[in-house]
Amino acid sequence: MKKIGVLLSGGGSNFQSIIDSVESGRLKIEIAVTISNKEDAFGITRAQNHGIPSEVIKHSDYPDREQFEERLIEALDGYNVDLVVLAGFMRVLTPLFVRHFHHRIINIHPAILPSFPGTHAQKQAFDYGVRFSGCSTHFVDEGTDTGPIILQAIVPVLPDDDEDTLGSRILTEEHRIYPESLRLWSEGRLRIEGRKVKILSSDNDNNG
Ligand code: GRF
């Protein structure tokens, strides 16, 4: 079974959706470790509640990003992870980390990329006045939210919305497409071709 390492900084509701999919048997992967850069992240409690190994590696304990990332790499490699899953990890990753795990890092972003990359994407979309927003899963490259897109889901922006109600509608879709993206990956059905991701059909006959 393939192993993933989850990086997070906060509540970890996406992490929970992945745990739920694994425990229900829909997603056949092993969550080998969860690492937080913040010791009070509720995601760490979620890991403990489900018997998943967890570590806190605080970026503030390291003099620069590279040394922090070298420690992350050491920990993730120690668990032999096949894939790094970013689930609300609020640190920019440098080329050092991205090259080490080339095409082996997946992120979820709460907007329809390439619109509204970076932080506060839900607010960016709301303030812009779009009629629809949503979320995207993607492989991570050296840019900010620029890597090849795996899945996207759309939600409407309703007249009475504020950025929070829009954000929670988006989050519901995140919890659907993140486990689904990982399922496709775990079944070997994602093939990166340039900046596109081809989704192979389940019998691998390339009709996907
Ligand atoms: C989500 O909005 C995700 O799209 C973004 O960070 C947030 C994490 O939320 N990358 P949670 O910790 O999974 O609840």
pLDDT value at residue 68: 97
Residue nearest to atom 14 of ligand 1 (CA): 13
Q: For the residues 38-43, what does the mean pLDDT come to?
A: 97
- The 3-state secondary structure of 24-58 reads HCCCCCEEEEEEECCCCCHHHHHHHHCCCCEEECC
Residues in contact with ligand 1 (CB, 6 Å cut-off): 8, 10-15, 87-88, 108-110, 171, 174
In the predicted structure, residue 204 carries a pLDDT above the cut 80: no
pLDDT value at residue 208: 45
The one-letter amino acid at 88: G
Residue nearest to atom 8 of ligand 1 (CA): 88
Residues 156-169: pLDDT tens digits?
A: 999 999 999 999 99
Half-sphere exposure of 154 (CA within 13 A, CB side): 4
Share of the chain above pLDDT 90, in %: 97
Q: Which atom of ligand 1 has the smallest separation from the CA of 170?
A: 2
Residue nearest to atom 6 of ligand 1 (CA): 88
Residues 91-112: pLDDT tens digits?
A: 999 999 999 999 999 999 999 9
